[in-house]
Structure 1
Amino acid sequence: MVEVDEVDSEDSSCNPEETDNDSCNASDYSDYDSKELEVLAKERKRTINDKFFEYKELHRFMTFKDIAKARRFISLHALANGYNLAIKKNSKRFRVVCQNVCNFFCLISGEKNCSGVSVKTLMGKHKCDDPCGNYKVSATTLAYYFKEKLQAKPKYKIKDIRVDLKIAFNINASFRKCKRAKRMIWEKMEGSFCDDYKKLVGYTNSLLESKVGSDVSLKVLLIEEKRQLLRMYICFDALKFKAGLRPFIGLDGTFLKGKAKGQLLCVLGQDSINYIYPIAWAIVHKECKATWLWFVKLLQQSLSLNNGEGITLILDMQKELAGIPCPHAIKELLYKESDPREEIHWWYTKEAYLLTYHSKLQPVSGPKLWKIDPAEAIELPPWVTLAGRPPTTRKRDKD
C-alpha cells in the first residue's frame, strides 16, 4: 500500500505526556561523434589516488572534454608535481605560466571539429624546487582531492589534512585553506543529500512496481506550501514473517544523525540459527506514542498478526536460545546408543533454514527510471526539539 498524505502541523505533533523521550551511472553519449567519445573516454580513465599518478604528465595534444576539465587537470598537475602555476584565461582558451623563474608556457584552446579542448603549445621545462608556496593549491583543488577521504571518514580532522598534504606533496597548506576545502566538501555532500529527499515519491513508486506485495507508506507534512517528510514505512514482501522464523519480534529505535534528524524505528526477527532478521523499518520525525502506534498498526497489517496470538514481543534480542546439545550431552547419548540428532530442535534443521530464506529480494530500478514529478518534491523532516534539558558541556573526541 502507498499513502502520500498531506497533513497539517497538528497531526505531526506529539503531546508532551506521550513522549517517551556524486554517481557512477553511465551518461547518454548519443549526441557525440567518435572523436568526442575518445576525449570523454580518456577523461573517465583518470582516477584520484594519493600521488596523482594520472596527473603527473602533461604533453602536447592532450585532450579534455571542456575548459573546466582542462583547468582542473592543470590544478591537479601542479599539485602532483609541486609546480607554482598561474592560469591566465578567457572564455574560450587559457594560458598557463610558471610563477617562478621557469620558462614554462602552455596554451590550451578549443578544437575545430569537436567540442573538446587540447594542449596546443607546450614550451620550456620546470626548474622549481620549493612547492611550499604553490599558487594552484586552492581550496577547490583540495576539496576535489579529499572528497572521497572525507566521505569514508567523516571525522577527518583539518590537522590530519595538513599532515597528509605535507607527506604526499611536501606542501604546507594553511589551516584556513584546508578548513574552506572541508566546508566545500560538506556543503556539496549535504546538497546531494537534500536532493535525494526530493526523489522519495519516485522511489516509493519504484518499490511497488518491482516488489509486488511490499508495503510502503509515505506521509508528507505541508507547511507554508512546503512538503516535508513526516513518516515513511517500508516492509518488503520477501522479508515478511516466515514459517522458519522464531516466534519473536523485537522493536527498537535509534536517533538519526547528520543533516536530517529524526528517529529510525525497526522490527527485527530471529531466524532458526539465532541470526538477526530484518522485517520492517520506518523513519519518523519524533519518537512518541503516536508514531509507535502508527508503526505497530502498519506492521500488524503487513504481517497479518491479528491480535498477536503466538508471537512474543521483546525489546532485547541479544540473548541466545539453546537448542543444540552440548558436547557432554552428545557423548552421553552416544554412550546410551541414542542418536544425538533426534535431540536437536527443529529450528536447527535445514528445512527451517530454507523456509526462512526461500524468497528472493528483487532489485529496484535506478533513479534514472523513476517517475519524478517536481510538484511532489519532498524536503527534509521538520526540526524537533527533544524532551529534557539540553547538555551544557561539549562532547570532545579522544585524541
Structure 2
Amino acid sequence: MSDGKSFQLKSLISEHNCAKIFKFGSIVTYKWIGTHFKHQFYNNEKMSVQLLREEVKTAFGINVSMSQCRRAKKYALSLAEGTISENYARICKIYIYFASVKEGWRRGCKRIINLDGCFLKSFCQGEFLCVVGRDANNGIFPIVWAVVCMENKVNWKWFIETLSEDLQCRNDRHGLFLISDQHKGLIEVVKEVFPAAEHRQCDRHIYANFRKKISGSKFENLFWKARKATTEA
C-alpha cells in the first residue's frame, strides 16, 4: 500500500529448506526448556543435566549450555513438585522429636526444661518453638522443637501436651522445673499441663521488660545481684 503501513500476502510456501540446527542456545530460555521436559523429570528425577542437553539437541537441534540445563532442571522440578516456599506454606504445624534425645534427657540431664520461641524470617514464616535442657556438664541439651504459624495459647498447648507425652513427665512431682518468658498463653498452659512443676521466668526476659521503664548501668548491676541473692531481702 502507498501509506507503507500495510502489506499483502500473495503466496505461501509451506515447505522450508532452511537449516534447522542452531549453534547457540541464546534463542531459548531455561524456563522454555524446563517446560518442555517437565514430564521427563517428573518420571525420572535422577535425569542428568548432560542427558537433558543431549535431549534438547536431538529434539530441537539447539546447542544449549550446561548452566541453562541446570536451571532448566531446577525449574522443571519446581513445576512438577512445587517450590520450597509453596510446600512450606502448606505446613501448619511440624513437631520434631528423637527417641535417643528423650532417653538422654531422662537418664543424664537435670530436671530443668527451658521453653522459648522466635520468629522465622525469609520465606520460612511462622514461629520456631524449642525446648532445651541442661546436661550433667551444665551444657545446653536440645530436646524437641517445632514450627507453628504463630505463638499463641493454642499452639503452645499442643506443643507442651505433645512434649509431656513424649517425656512422660506430666505428673512428675520429683523436682521438675520449667523456665520460660512471660508470654501469657505459655504461662497458662504450663499450669494446665504441668500442675506439679515449678515454673520460673527467664531473668533475661524480666530484665528486658524492666529496661522499658528503668534503664542504666546502676540498675542493671543491682538487678543481676538481686537475681543471685539467696534471701528475699
Q: TM-score range by the shorter chain?
A: 0.3 to 0.5
TM-score, normalized by length of structure 1? 0.27
TM-score with structure 2 setting the length: 0.44
**Higher RCO, 1 or 2 (CA under 8 Å, sep at least 6)?**
1
Structure showing the higher helix proportion among its residues: 2
